[in-house]
Structure 1
Amino acid sequence: MAGDPSYAIAALSPETWPAFDALVQRHNGIFGGCWCIWFHPDGPERGQGAEANRALKRRYVDEGTAHAALVMAGDEAIAWAEFGTPAELPNLHHRKQYDQTKTRDPDYRITCVFVDKRYRRQGLSEVAIRGALDLIARSGGGRVESYPHDLTEQTKKMSSSFLYNGTRRMYERLGFTYDRSKGLKNCVMVTTVAPAQTAGAGATR
């Protein structure tokens, strides 16, 4: 499914907001109405409910400080991968351990991946992440981190509802390398994305 030409990648923007908005609305605001704002800086809307979270996300999109690769099936968004600079996405789980063990900040982070429930188990998380890497390449590339669950030694299957950023194995398939652990059963994965040479070029990993 990762190579299916019927899917296109679109950047989250004021123009694609209606498609993103519809996807989140179909899933009741995502993770209890968070609207994928947890990793963003705090704003006055935070903690005021799903509609306030929606307004905060919309404001970040309008300001150009919220980025994501949307997987599009026609005019409908069916998956996304959120990415941004550390300034745009400063909040992380297990932040104290992360700061104590880091040697440098990344240029970009991929912090959340979500797939429409109608399209799961079809490889669309990887399609979304590749889309994010392509958009990062077009923005100049650099060091990219992501923070998936590390289930390499776990035999019990974990519910996909908890895998908000995928798994270590998935990122390894995408060319990321393991950097270090982060919290319980989470890790830091890294890759370097080369700048795109032309508008149509993809990421080099």
Structure 2
Amino acid sequence: MSVSKTSEKMTEPLVVRALDVDTWPAFARLVEANSGVWGGCWCMGFHVKLGKGRTAADNRAEKEQRVAEGRTHAALVLAGDDCLGWCQFGSPEELPEVKSRRLYEKGLTVLPDWRITCFFTGKGLRRRGVADAALGGALVEIARLGGGTVEGYPEETDDRTVSGSFLHTGPMAAFENHGFTRTRPISPHRWVVTRTVDPA
């Protein structure tokens, strides 16, 4: 009996590695297999405003350049040579675009050292703990890079069912499982959550 590629991925142990020039090919394969992610975003939507005239090819080229220059960060979840998903993080300077900006800025007193902005898990690879593993890996990498205050912006799903497409900023449960505290709401169901990470 043949075993599908997806089935093989589901049985291999998960390993978390940073996005860099060595892991870029695995990241790129996953993005390409999922139509560029969110309509060709290539995980650029928190770096820059994605507007008219900007193509998926533009996003891919700039993402690869940022990886080569060390100006973008993500914790990739790998099974063998295949990337299953990731968690993007970075400084506010690196990731200036946030959701619900008006309410976010209204309650802002001081910028965090780090932002955790988005998550992605490939089609057919969900319900394996990829988001949780990616978030844990991001926190380890943040500690290695000096630690500090960390913000996330997850969607709260306590009393409702939400499509996975709305959870690109991460599920609340994953953040709370990793010690984040709800700080303030910035939309009916989205919160700023925070925690401090000690340097490694």
**TM-score between both structures, scaled by the size of structure 1:** 0.87
1:67-106 matches, cutoff 5 A: 67-106=73-112
For 1:32, the aligned partner's letter is: G
Residues 36 and 57 of structure 1 are in contact (CA less than 8 Å); yes or no, is this contact kept in structure 2? Answer: yes
Match of 1:19 in 2: 26
Please provide the CA RMSD for this pair: 1.8
Residues 88 and 118 of structure 2 are in contact (CA less than 8 Å); yes or no, is this contact kept in structure 1? Answer: yes
Residues 150 and 167 of structure 1 are in contact (CA less than 8 Å); yes or no, is this contact kept in structure 2? Answer: yes
Answer yes or no: is 1:52 the counterpart of 2:58.
yes
Describe the SS at the equivalent of 2:124: helix
Cα deviation for residue 46 of structure 1 reads: 7.5
* Equivalent position to 1:151, from 137, 145, 157: 157
Residues 12 and 80 of structure 2 are in contact (CA less than 8 Å); yes or no, is this contact kept in structure 1? Answer: no
Cα deviation for residue 42 of structure 1 reads: 5.1
* Equivalent position to 2:192, from 180, 188, 191: 188
Answer yes or no: is 1:172 the counterpart of 2:176.
yes
Unmatched tracts of structure 1, length 5 or more? 197-205
Structure 2: distance between partners of 1:47 and 1:127: 35
Number of positions where the alignment pairs a residue of Structure 1 with one of Structure 2: 190
Residues 77 and 134 of structure 2 are in contact (CA less than 8 Å); yes or no, is this contact kept in structure 1? Answer: yes
Residues 143 and 192 of structure 1 are in contact (CA less than 8 Å); yes or no, is this contact kept in structure 2? Answer: yes
* Equivalent position to 1:163, from 161, 167, 173: 167
Greater shift, 83-92 or 93-102, is seen at 93-102
Residues 12 and 79 of structure 2 are in contact (CA less than 8 Å); yes or no, is this contact kept in structure 1? Answer: no
Residues 41 and 88 of structure 1 are in contact (CA less than 8 Å); yes or no, is this contact kept in structure 2? Answer: no
**TM-score between both structures, scaled by the size of structure 2:** 0.89
Unmatched tracts of structure 2, length 5 or more? 1-10
Residues 46 and 53 of structure 1 are in contact (CA less than 8 Å); yes or no, is this contact kept in structure 2? Answer: no
